[in-house]
Structure 1
Amino acid sequence: MKVLQFTIPVPHDKSVIADQFSLPYFYPYLHRHKEAQITWIQKGEGTLIAGNNMHHFAPGDVFLIGANLPHLFKSNPEYFENETEDAISALSIFFNPEGILTPLFELPEMRAFKLFIQHHQQGFKVPLPDAEKTISNMTALRDATGAEQLIQFINLIKGLSEINEQLQPLSSYGNLPGITENEGIRIGNIYNYIMQNYTESITLEDVSKAAFMTSESFCRYFKKHTGNTFVTFLNEVRINEACKILNANKVESISAAAYQCGFKSITNFNRVFRSVTGKSPREYMDNYSGKIG
């Protein structure tokens, strides 16, 4: 899938890039790059779209995003309404295992790490028990210079490869077809349209019109290039937002969260919630509270 193709600026004297930044909001366009990326969210909340799936992100979360995996860190709407210079901040580590680092990963001692990265091309979220150690390794890499930075990079990859929990991929649709850059931009615009209007009664005709396509053409196009139907993607956006609201206790009841996220029927909300999360809203809240506790 060819979306906005980024080239990460790589200084001539570095093989690993540590990018510490603070901005009003995260870069709001679907994009990809040949470098793998490890990102620690320090400040800010929103939705991560990776491939054909989406995930909530908040301070303390750490994600590995595989090379060339289309992704988008979409800040919550309030970050665009109140633009504050340092509203969000994050540390990202970029590296290309098939570029300048190829000789390093070809070493016999590095074979296990190479296989680990190849196995997780679809990315993953670092489990909470392992996040603190990963953040420590990322910080050490950021603060190091010269050969010490490369040593800290090996420590970072070693730490990730030693995670004992089952790592769930960020994306489950690994065979997206190649499309033109303009089509990739169009998909990004469709994502943005849906995520900005999910609280309303968005119809297939509405989103097709926004994409300048007929309804029939849009259905075929969206399914082919994202792996999702329009209704599936819209429901996942709404349920993802409902999960954020329920976790933050921002509403008085489950039904209030349902209506706030665009559902007109609590029965339909419960059915879709279970199909997306595998749990009822109440079970989800109890499970989340148990983890926090």
Structure 2
Amino acid sequence: MKAIPYLVSVQKESSIVVEADELPFFYNQLHHHKEMQITLIESGEGVLIVGNYSQPFEAGQVYIIGANQPHMFKTDASLIQKKTKSKAVHIFFDMEKLRPCFGLLPELTAVEKLVSRASCGLQLNEGHRKQIGREIQFIEKSEGLTRLTTLLHLLEYIAAEVQLCRDLGTGISSPAKTFSGFRMDDVYKYTLENYHKDVSIQQIAEVACLTPHAFCKYFKKHTRKTYLTFLNEIRISEACKKITLGEYEGLSSLGYSTGFNNAVTFNRVFKRVIGMAPSDYVKKVRGERVMSE
């Protein structure tokens, strides 16, 4: 499934667009747009797909989606069947319009770094969701210069106070101060490009220019999980995406294509990460697809 372009209705007198959705299900097409996006899920749940990553979403969560990043909030079929409305507030802003301000105003340095860090997307730490939710709701109700300054204040707050974010390019929750280190960036990039292969600790340690023992300690310190756990989460995330988009021939071949050596391991890890067997997940996705058509 290819991501389709989505046109945000930008008004000439505003550089910020706020859209409030209250529908049986969210927009169910993989799409992209030039604007960055901040989304507050007020009610509803389902699966979020961003680029090559997917994870469950639920009410109260806040996401930043990078510009031109393919994404989709896919509502859970059970809510559609119950005719329960899903509600979210989306804030769209074109960074190309705001970027010239960064070079002129040193006060926006932290915001500029946040925008760069969020290029693939971020899920914000839930400990701050009440404060962020209030800011987003205020932006929704305001207009003009007040809306712009409130958005900048929100971005400044996130940059300064939210120290733990989940990267929607990798699925790892990392402290903001260590997130952009070149060594971890190389590890993430290599993993995303080679998850379907047999990646050894020796190989990934060489990417990080560390001994295997030092790498294991380094990775656990920065992510609070082992590299094998992270690798398997990436593999399962990719498997879920292929199932959701219908880009697979069968569950056995799906396991092999995402880096697992046998179906037993694939089924065990899938159930541990997702909470259900692959076959049950397929049924769930098919049910969602039928309900949303």
Superposed, 1:236-275 pairs within 5 Å as: 241-242=274-275, 257-258=276-277, 261=280
Aligned-CA RMSD value: 3.6
Q: Is the Cα–Cα contact under 8 Å of residues 42 and 59 in structure 2 kept in the other structure?
A: yes
1:115-151 deviation per Cα after TM superposition (whole angstroms, max 9, x unaligned): 2201221111111111111111111111112211111
The amino acid that maps onto 1:127 is N
Q: Is the Cα–Cα contact under 8 Å of residues 25 and 80 in structure 1 kept in the other structure?
A: yes
Taking structure 2 as the reference length, what is the TM-score of the superposition?
0.61
Find the counterpart in structure 1 of residue 183 from structure 2: none
Per-residue deviation at 1:239?
A: 5.4
Q: Is the Cα–Cα contact under 8 Å of residues 241 and 261 in structure 1 kept in the other structure?
A: no
The amino acid that maps onto 1:137 is E
Per-residue deviation at 1:57?
A: 0.8
Equivalent of residue 107 in structure 1, options 91, 104, 107: 104
Taking structure 1 as the reference length, what is the TM-score of the superposition?
0.61
Find the counterpart in structure 2 of residue 154 from structure 1: 152
Asked if 1:194 is matched to 2:243, the reply is yes
Query: For the residues of structure 2 that align with 1:78 and 1:41, how far apart are their CA atoms?
Result: 17
Q: Structure 2 vs 1, CA of residues 28 and 192 (structure 1 numbering), >3 Å: closer, same or farther?
A: farther
The amino acid that maps onto 2:51 is G
Per-residue deviation at 1:7?
A: 2.0
Q: Is the Cα–Cα contact under 8 Å of residues 44 and 89 in structure 1 kept in the other structure?
A: yes
Q: Structure 2 vs 1, CA of residues 19 and 259 (structure 1 numbering), >3 Å: closer, same or farther?
A: closer
Query: For the residues of structure 1 that align with 2:245 and 2:2, how far apart are their CA atoms?
Result: 23
Per-residue deviation at 1:163?
A: 2.8
Find the counterpart in structure 1 of residue 166 from structure 2: 168
The amino acid that maps onto 2:280 is C
| Greater share of helix | 2
Find the counterpart in structure 1 of residue 59 from structure 2: 59
Q: Structure 2 vs 1, CA of residues 56 and 191 (structure 1 numbering), >3 Å: closer, same or farther?
A: closer
Superposed, 1:1-293 pairs within 5 Å as: 3-82=3-82, 84=83, 87-98=85-96, 100-108=97-105, 109-172=107-170, 194-195=243-244, 202-204=251-253, 241-242=274-275, 257-258=276-277, 261=280
Count residues in correspondence. Answer: 211
Q: Identity over aligned residues, as a percent?
A: 27
Q: Structure 2 vs 1, CA of residues 159 and 261 (structure 1 numbering), >3 Å: closer, same or farther?
A: same
1:41-69 deviation per Cα after TM superposition (whole angstroms, max 9, x unaligned): 01101011111111211110111111111
Q: Structure 2 vs 1, CA of residues 193 and 110 (structure 1 numbering), >3 Å: closer, same or farther?
A: closer
Query: For the residues of structure 1 that align with 2:114 and 2:241, how far apart are their CA atoms?
Result: 33
Secondary structure of the residue aligned to 2:22 is strand
**Structure 2, unaligned stretches of length 5 or more?**
171-187, 194-238, 283-293
Per-residue deviation at 1:101?
A: 2.2
Q: Structure 2 vs 1, CA of residues 164 and 259 (structure 1 numbering), >3 Å: closer, same or farther?
A: closer
Query: For the residues of structure 1 that align with 2:189 and 2:8, how far apart are their CA atoms?
Result: 23
The amino acid that maps onto 2:112 is K
Query: For the residues of structure 2 that align with 1:71 and 1:237, how far apart are their CA atoms?
Result: 22
The amino acid that maps onto 2:20 is Q
The amino acid that maps onto 2:100 is P
Secondary structure of the residue aligned to 1:106 is helix
Q: Structure 2 vs 1, CA of residues 152 and 27 (structure 1 numbering), >3 Å: closer, same or farther?
A: same
Query: For the residues of structure 2 that align with 1:50 and 1:104, how far apart are their CA atoms?
Result: 28
Query: For the residues of structure 2 that align with 1:192 and 1:26, how far apart are their CA atoms?
Result: 17
Per-residue deviation at 1:106?
A: 3.3
Q: Is the Cα–Cα contact under 8 Å of residues 34 and 96 in structure 1 kept in the other structure?
A: yes
Per-residue deviation at 1:71?
A: 1.0
Q: Structure 2 vs 1, CA of residues 22 and 174 (structure 1 numbering), >3 Å: closer, same or farther?
A: farther
The amino acid that maps onto 1:4 is I
Query: For the residues of structure 1 that align with 2:259 and 2:34, how far apart are their CA atoms?
Result: 28
Per-residue deviation at 1:237?
A: 7.2
Query: For the residues of structure 2 that align with 1:101 and 1:67, how far apart are their CA atoms?
Result: 13
Q: Structure 2 vs 1, CA of residues 63 and 146 (structure 1 numbering), >3 Å: closer, same or farther?
A: same
Find the counterpart in structure 2 of residue 271 from structure 1: none
Q: Structure 2 vs 1, CA of residues 142 and 156 (structure 1 numbering), >3 Å: closer, same or farther?
A: same
Q: Structure 2 vs 1, CA of residues 259 and 138 (structure 1 numbering), >3 Å: closer, same or farther?
A: closer
